[in-house]
Amino acid sequence: MAPITSRFCGVLLVLGLVTSPSYATNASAASGRPSLRQHTTKSLRHRSLHRRSRRAPPGGVWARNAVLIDSETGEVLFEKDASRAVPIASLSKLMTVLVFLEQNPDMDRLAEVTRAELNGAGRTQLRNHERVSLRDLLHMALMCSDNVATRVLVRESSLAPDEFLARMNQRAAEMGLAGTRFVEFTGLDERNVSTAADCAHLLRTAATNPVIQDVMTTRTYEFRSASRPHVIANTNRLLFGRYEVRGGKTGFIVEAGYCLATWIHSQGRDLIAVVLGAPTPATRFADVVRLVQRTSTSTPSVPTTN
């Protein structure tokens, strides 16, 4: 019988009639393409590297700065460069709403959104000339970090903008937040800086306010402005997981990375975790879960629900 030609054998191989590994290797070498064995080895190596990349680095978290404290005793259970002042993005809004609520506003009063608040504020559901209650704006500011809503709240307070900002920095000084400074109200400016330790203290103070705590622990919120309905979801994914969350705030700008400050009740213990400068949105939540697991025998998974 005449030998099977390389070309004909290639056709049989495609049809599944020739399965010889040696032929596959030789044919691949002749064609310059990687063999099946080489492709499998490369795929396995890639998967191994991917698995290693998901492991926490030395120090326990991916975030550049982090702290975990016992909110009752103040004991520091973990820290990573926790005293370094860095941009904190929308975690700034915790102080903004604290100062806003100090003015005892009428939360049912309607405020009109203007072009001044919309300019450069990023994504928002709000529209020019839309009239929204202060209560609904507060939910938007804390739950989904709406910068337009935050700017309207400041405008509608009893303080002029420069006075409001001065009060934010004064409150930081009164709270002993030596590494914290604000230059505007939303966190869009990278010069709004704080430390992980300061942010933990700030969250603890904010969460003791029942109005702020109620908003921060709301998963989804529906309301109607003077003209149309709205639905917003909380950006703190841990609210949708297994933990009992008593407060929290997310934040992001490029200079700050992904940030999260959250208060969790776990295994009979109240813990406040702050991570600043995480590389991805999901990493900040995974970092917090990892920190909390250090003090607990349970191992809940990171929720994926938004």
Q: Which residues are catalytic?
A: 90, 93, 145
Q: Which amino acid is present at 287?
A: D
Residues tagged in the binding site annotation for substrate: 249
- Angle, nearest 10°, between helix axes 161-174 and 93-102? 100
Residues tagged in the binding site annotation: 249
Which two structure tokens, joined as six digits, stand for 122? 């990023």
Residue 105 class from Cβ within 10 Å (0-12 exposed, 13-18 middle, 19+ buried)? middle
Per-residue DSSP letters for 5-47?
PHHHHHHHHHHTS---HHHHHHHHHHHTSPPHHHHHHHHHHHH
- How far apart are the C-alpha atoms of 86 and 127, rounded to whole Å? 32
Closest CA to 241 of 161, 306, 165, 149: 306
Per-residue DSSP letters for 143-187?
HS--HHHHHHHHHTSSS-HHHHHHHHHHHHHHTT-TT-B-SSSSS
Name the DSSP class of 122.
Answer: -
